[in-house]
Amino acid sequence: MKRYEYETLCVAEPAPGVATLTLDRPDTLNAMNTRMLGELLDFFAGMYVSSEEIRCLVLTGAGDRAFCAGGDLKERDGMSDDDWRRQHALGEQAFKAVVDCPVPIIAAVNGVAYGGGCELALLADFGYAAGDARFALPEVTRGIIPGAMGTQMLPRACGVRRAKEIVLSGQPFSAQEALSWGIVNRVCDKNRLLSEAVATARHIAENAPIAVREAKKSLDMATQMDIRSGYAYELAAYNRLVPTEDRLEGVRAFNERRKPRFQGA
């Protein structure tokens, strides 16, 4: 895997085809400052251009207290309106790049996930949470609203009525509530959270990479199209896979009763 040089992010490869991206500002509960937003944009824009070495990504936070506490309000204190807008514009591009990431992203929420941190977890394809993780979208208590796709992604996860309760009250909720509402897929023992997320990522990384990417895109379309248009998208993706070497290898491996060796071709 290529070497990444970041100040606020740490990239590692715990298994073949699997990368972990760690938000690495534990002294600030991994709050997103301008530097982190720029580095998130750089990383995910790079994934969009070239991600052959990474087949699945696990996103987590450094330390045992927080996944991400949201925007760095200490940095923002005293910002002019123009500076605030410029910083947020950088974040907007970073969050769009996360959504456009061609490989699956699993959020491993290891603690507090407030504001933009909660939204970042929602931008992942799915997520696991530590038992003591806490979530909140408290922006209305600070005079703003979620601005990292929270009002778009949260209703897709838990429904509009639950999303309204969460956003309009600004109140925190537990990992178990996040699980019961469909916001995370699994609650894990804190000491096993990352290993369980990486284990799932390994299963994904072992599958045919082109098929995984096409399936991810088709699933994303499910909430954006009527069912017939979505099915047309699915069939177009399906037919793009028919001439691939991985499709042939999958059939051969099944008939030869062995594990397939997918090459992404």
Q: List, by residue number, the catalytic residues.
A: 119, 139
| pLDDT at residue 106 tops 80 | yes
Q: For residue 25, what pLDDT is reported?
A: 97
Residue 19's H or E segment, with its range, is strand 18-23
Task: Render pLDDT for 209-252 as a digit per residue (tens, 0 to 9).
Answer: 999 999 999 999 999 999 999 999 999 999 999 999 999 999 99
- Closest by CA to 186, choosing from 133, 234, 143, is 133
CA distances from 220 to 58, 126, 209, 217 (A): 19, 12, 17, 5
Q: What are phi and psi of 115, to 5 degrees?
A: 55, -125
106: its two tokens: 């699993």
The DSSP call for residue 32 is: B
pTM recorded for the entire structure: 0.95
Place of tokens 């429904």: 159
The domains found in the chain, sorted by start residue, are 9-205 (3.90.226.10), 208-255 (1.10.12.10)
Most confident range, picked from 45-54, 80-89, 138-147: 138-147
CA 42 to chain centre: 15
| pLDDT at residue 148 tops 90 | yes
| pLDDT at residue 79 tops 90 | no
* 28 neighbors 72 (Cβ within 8 angstroms): yes
Q: For residue 3, what pLDDT is reported?
A: 81
